[in-house]
Chain A
Amino acid sequence: MNAITKRPESLLDVTMHYCPGCGHSVAHRLIAETMDELKIRERTVVVAPVGCAVFADKYFNCDSIQGPHGRGPAIATGIKRAKPDSIVFSYQGDGDLASIGMAEIVHAAARGENITVIFINNAIYGMTGGQMAPTTLVGQTATTAPKGRNPLLQGFPMNISEMLSKLESPRYIERVSVDSAPNVIKAKKAIKKAFENQVNKIGFSFVEVLSICPTNWGVTPLKGLDFLREKMMPQYPLGVFKDEKESVAQKIQEGK
């Protein structure tokens, strides 16, 4: 019998701590497959965040650094500038990236750092117990918004991919989802491109991944998938927000 798939070499054979139904493990697998396919495992550094993915450094079979809440893009900047031959990716959740780390992600994008950022958006704080995130939907309940997010008190959800795409430097920004097999295949394509761009020195690449958090949403995984499709996708439409073929350096050189 021929094996048609196997564990990527870039993903360690350890038990993950993620809850049943959580999208993190799917995203991890897609990144690991990409590292294998691009043969970059031995020069890749994962920057693990604070949040549910704090132990990402235990799962990827590559060098790692775990950083303060929200600072992933700054840490990645330091690594990449000090060691330009390394492949660096910052893996962040919505509280980490869109709340406490907003300055770091916006400025790393504005500088056009040649790094890859994977942004997991599940519209809630996971590890701390279901508090409201900047991406929590209007009306969606959270442990700090028991009556649901009220735009009069807490404002409207933040669409990060759209915001970052208004900057000049970022080269590639796409929002994907891991709710179904076809969407997982698309997510893989996007993640791979975000790493290829770094390898080819194209520049800052960002993939937002819509994901579910059944535990903190208080639903079954299947109901969670329904919520993602019916409620999250209208607020956070999938698609490519920016896709530049050339690096900023190439554009300046050609006088474009």
Chain B
Amino acid sequence: MAEKVLMKGNEALAEGAIRAGCRFFAGYPITPQNEVPEYMSWRQEEVGGAFVQAESEVAAVNMLYGAAATGVRSMTSSSSPGVSLKQEGITYLAGSDLPCLIVNVMRGGPGLGSIAGGQADYTQATRGGGNGDYRTIVLAPFSVEELGNFPKKAFELSEKYRIPAMILADGILGQMMEGMSYNFEPVDPAALCVKPWAIGPNTTGRKRNQVYSYGLAEGELEAMVLKRAERYALVERDEVIYEERNTEDADVLIVAYGISARASIAAMEIARAKGIKVGMIRPITLWPFPAKRIAELASKVKAVLCVEMSLGQMKVDVDLAVNGKTPTYLHAKSGAFFPVAEEIAVAIESALNGKKEQLFNLADLAEKATNERAEAKNAPCKEGALL
């Protein structure tokens, strides 16, 4: 087994990208991912790559767009509000079929939110995020070790299908330190195949290459979108990655990714000690989502419990997979406060026994909100009235 060294998540990620052959990085400071550009600023120089501190997230992602178009393994990283800004470039990257790596070390939102870890960018990441009909391949690590090893996987998938790849991490993973060992030999960029579509110096007498996402003639854009959809179909069929724990005899199935899955493992131990049979499936690719496997497992359990740091964004995908055949529940920690094992353990019992404790249900909030608004109606200009 490879030697383990103690590393911070963000640095393991940056070094992992370098080892995966990344030779272009553009980024902009934002907490909690600052260690990534800081590390890249000296490390890219060491390996003969390029680092640019951009003037904005928008500029950074457009630098990525230019660099990725040359075929060089290229990446940018940011955190939630910054990734919102990057959507302009991400949709161009997707529309131009360019492989690249985008990292989101998520924090709390919406708006400025908080600088602590969050998972509330799930929908943005898995549905495209920018304008248009597109997807990005989304990998969700749950340890420093995965954070460091996933860039290689992300680049390979991205290049195989010419779809931008995203690593969706969170502030806790980015900031925490753990034992790190890389499970691959450093990639020599010179040994990677030359991309026939890449722009840049033409030394082989090939036809000129054009990188663009527009199609104005009748039917042109539709043909482009449908051609791309064929690759999406292959990704959904062939590239689903997930991990299962204790699912053989489970009565309750937890679905959780990233740091929520880490907390859920501890919660499972607490519940199992009490004799509750609980198992977990951890989606590692969020798109493609392991819908088929979740449906199979759900058919064998009494309850499905989603654990996420958002108000049911992932649960939408779980519900689509389960399709009403098994009751589904949600333990949510939105607002950048991380899930706690003891609370998840309570949620497991609630899911099994039809209780409400530690379960989030939007409908339950309606009654409370209705009463508050009725009160406000009597005094419409009362300070803090919700109208």
Contacts and interface: CB of A to CB of B under 8 A. Distances in A.
Contacts of A107: 54-55, 59
A77 B60 CA distance: 10
Interface in B84-118: 88-89, 92, 96
Interface string A57-83: 100011111111001001111111111
Contact of B62 (A86, A104, A111): A104
Contacts of A103: 55-56, 58-59
Contact of B199 (A68, A79, A81): A79
Interface residues of B, number: 38
Contact of B214 (A42, A54, A74): A54
B200 A104 contact: no
B208 A71 contact: no
A83 B201 contact: yes
Nearest to B66: A78
B74 A82 contact: yes
Interface in B59-86: 59-60, 62-70, 72, 74
Contacts of B74: 78, 82
A148 B23 CA distance: 50
A43 B202 contact: yes
A75 B63 contact: yes
A58 B118 CA distance: 44
B351 to A, nearest CB: 45
Interface residues of A, number: 33
A43 B201 contact: yes
A120 interface: no
A79 B50 CA distance: 11
Given A64-B212, A67-B92, A78 B200 contact: no
Given A68-B89, A103-B56, A47 B66 contact: yes
Contact of B24 (A43, A47, A65, A78): A78
Given A45-B199, A71-B58, 15 more contacts: A43-B200, A43-B202, A65-B69, A66-B213, A68-B62, A71-B65, A71-B89, A78-B62, A80-B66, A81-B24, A83-B70, A83-B72, A83-B201, A86-B199, A107-B54
Interface of A: 42-43, 45, 47-48, 54, 57, 61-68, 71, 74-83, 85-86, 103-104, 106-107, 111
